[in-house]
Structure 1
Amino acid sequence: MDLPDQLKNLFPDHVEGENNSNEHKSSGIWMQDDPILCKYEKRKGKPITILEGYTGATEDFKILAKEIKTKLSVGGSFKDDKIIIQGDYRDKIMQMLKDKGFNVKRVGG
């Protein structure tokens, strides 16, 4: 028994293809009502940009982190449900997220 059959047994009333208003279908990333917070900090004298406040799946946030790092050609990591990007790229990251349809809020400075 494969996964779709198991899901049909668990949820017999579910109809495939129903639209969920909180999900962005084109990119497959969960869209949320609360804004993602974009912070700027200095750690050990070096600037970093921190994105936090995402309420969707962790895997989606990891995919988003990889996409941001690739587009900006910078280093970074994903720890404790936060994306940490090396350097001050708040404006570029906020524009990228707005283009994807996310709500973004700038925090600090």
Structure 2
Amino acid sequence: MSLLSGLLDHIPPTIAGADKPTMANHTTDRPRLVLVERPAQLPASTYTNAATATPEWRQARDQYLGHIMVCRSCYAPTGRHCTAGADLRASYDNTPMESPR
């Protein structure tokens, strides 16, 4: 006798179908789920990410991230930056991600 079979001996057997609700238990006035169709994809012009950002923005981002990864004085989650880190963060924040059209 295995340990598992010893544990299972104390569990009552289940009756097939005893836990399934019947259709008589359901009311007809319940709200039903409806499938709402959405557009397949957002238009490309309304969504900007790092891959579609301007080269200036990517350079500002890379300089800022490269600095805060090695600087012991900067701690971005709390907004604490050294002088150089604060300047790089300001440059990063002020550089537009999209080119003006």
* TM-score normalized by the length of structure 1: 0.29
Asked which structure has the greater CA Rg, the reply is 2
Structure number having the greater strand percentage: 1
* TM-score normalized by the length of structure 2: 0.31
